[in-house]
């Protein structure tokens, strides 16, 4: 039986002014190096582009080689680069058997929306898996939009969560909705 080579994992983040070609430039370097992209998240925030990647490569390979190859590309695009090696206990798949739901919050922009909603969720043991916010509308009437993907702990239901958030909805004068994400079987 042939032993599989050890796989090294790195967390890579790239941030800078948005422009076309950022993802392609980073992906090209990783492809040339023979890296695999396990998980990625990319988004634009107020004209800044941010990407976080979990990159893997069989040993022998080094963080310094990855950095040496990515840095000139990032520098050429005006992007900042950060990287760290992930240890074995950090690379386990974080799949959950918990019920997944999407929580949406819409309302007049005001300080504290993210804090107040996430504090309530944390108090009930709800794990936030993804969170995105956007400011939409006009300068005169800005509307704050927050979308959360959350894993509900045992015993928590979407209906119970919606009821928990009812008081907060009134206090903040926002709309809050909770909807179950139905898994798709292949």
| Within-domain flag for 116 | yes
Per the structure, the count of domains in the chain is: 2
Question: Measured between alpha carbons, how far is 126 from 169 in angstroms, rounded to an integer?
Answer: 18
Q: Do the Cβ atoms of 12 and 83 come closer than 8 Å?
A: yes
* pLDDT > 90? residue 5: no
pLDDT in tens, 126-155: 999 889 998 888 888 889 999 999 999 988
* Sign of the CA dihedral with 76 first, then 82, 85, and 91 last: negative
Q: Do 173 and 117 fall into the same domain?
A: yes
The whole domain housing 136 covers 99-180
Q: Do 171 and 114 fall into the same domain?
A: yes
Structure tokens at 45: 């925030």
CATH number where 172 lies: 3.30.70.260
pLDDT in tens, 121-134: 999 999 998 899 98
Q: What are phi and psi of 66, to 5 degrees?
A: -60, -45
Q: Do 111 and 173 fall into the same domain?
A: yes
Q: Do 103 and 86 fall into the same domain?
A: no
| Within-domain flag for 167 | yes
Say what percent of the chain tops pLDDT 70: 93
Q: Do 123 and 176 fall into the same domain?
A: yes
**Could you tell me which residues are beta bridge partners of residue 150?**
101, 128
Q: Do 103 and 77 fall into the same domain?
A: no
Structure tokens at 120: 């309530």
Q: Do 81 and 109 fall into the same domain?
A: no
Question: Measured between alpha carbons, how far is 82 from 80 in angstroms, rounded to an integer?
Answer: 7
């Amino acid at each position: 039986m042939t032993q599989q080579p050890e796989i090294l994992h790195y967390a890579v983040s790239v941030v800078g002014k948005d422009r076309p070609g950022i993802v392609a430039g980073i992906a090209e370097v990783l492809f040339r190096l023979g890296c695999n992209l396990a998980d990625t998240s990319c988004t634009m925030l107020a004209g800044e582009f941010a990407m976080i990647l979990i990159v893997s490569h069989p040993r022998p390979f080094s963080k310094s080689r990855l950095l040496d190859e990515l840095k000139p590309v990032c520098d050429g695009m005006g992007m900042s680069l950060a990287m760290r090696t992930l240890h074995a206990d950090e690379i386990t798949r974080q799949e959950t058997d918990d019920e997944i739901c999407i929580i949406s919050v819409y309302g007049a922009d005001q300080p504290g929306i993210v804090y107040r909603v996430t504090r309530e969720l944390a108090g009930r043991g709800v794990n936030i898996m993804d969170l995105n916010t956007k400011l939409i509308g006009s300068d005169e009437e800005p509307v704050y939009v927050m979308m959360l993907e959350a894993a509900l702990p045992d015993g928590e239901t979407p209906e119970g969560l919606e009821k928990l958030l009812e008081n907060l909805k009134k206090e903040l004068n926002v709309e809050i909705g909770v909807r179950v994400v139905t898994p798709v079987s292949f």
